[in-house]
Amino acid sequence: MSFFTSVDENVICIARNNMDHNLSSFALVSFELEDKVWPSVEHYFQAMKFPVGDYQESIRLAKTAKKAQKLGRNRFKKIRKDWSQVREIIMTRAVYTKCRTHSDIARELLATGEETLVDNNQYDYFWGCGRDRRGNNAYGKVLMNVRAKLREEQNT
C-alpha cells in the first residue's frame, strides 16, 4: 500500500497535513533543533512565527500537529515581521533536520527518485498545488530541495 497518489507517471502527490505519512509536516516524528525537541515539523514551523517565549513554547508542547497549527494561526498574537521572507527557509530547515535525524525517512524521500513531489492540498495555493493545480507547491519544492541535498551528501 502506498501513501502516494500518482497523478501521472512523473508526479507523486502527498498531503502535508497527513499525520500518518513520514514525509508530511504533521507526522509526529520528533527531532532536535535550536536546543529543543520538536514533536513534528509543523510544531517547529508554527512556533517559529513568534518570538522566543511562552507562546512559542506552548506551540512546541501542543499535543498534535493540528493543535500546533491552530495555535500558529492565532491572529491575536503578533508574528515576526520577516515571516513571509523566512517561512520556506524554516520549513526546509525542519524537514532537513528530520531527515538527518531519521535515516529511514531520508531513505523514503530519496526513494522518490527524480519525480516531482506535489502537496496535493486543493485549498492551499502557497504550500500546496491548489484546486486547479496552479498553486506554488512550496512544500513539494521544499521536499525536492531536501532530497537533492541528501543525494548530494550521499554522493560525497
Tell me the pLDDT band of 100, cut-offs 50, 70 and 90.
very high
Number of domain units in the chain: 1
The CA distance from 43 to 60, in Å, is: 5
Q: What is the pLDDT of residue 8?
A: 60
Cβ count within 10 A of residue 152? 9
Please check whether residue 26 is in contact with residue 19, taking contact to mean a CB–CB distance below 8 angstroms: yes
In this prediction the pTM is 0.92
Over residues 47-60, the mean pLDDT reads 96
Percent of the chain residues past pLDDT 70, beyond the cut: 94
In the predicted model, is pLDDT for residue 4 greater than 70? no
Domain with 43, as residue range(s), is: 5-154
Task: Copy the grid coordinates of residue 62.
Answer: 501542543
- CATH for 131: 1.10.357.40
DSSP the chain: --S-EESSTTEEEE-TT-TTSTTSTTS---EEETTEEESSHHHHHHHTTS-SSHHHHHHHT-SSHHHHHHHHT-TTSPPPTTHHHHHHHHHHHHHHHHHHH-HHHHHHHHTTTTPEEEE--TT-SSSS--TTS-S--HHHHHHHHHHHHHHHHHT-
Instruction: Check residue 137 and give left, alpha or beta (phi > 0: left; psi -120 to 50: alpha).
Output: left
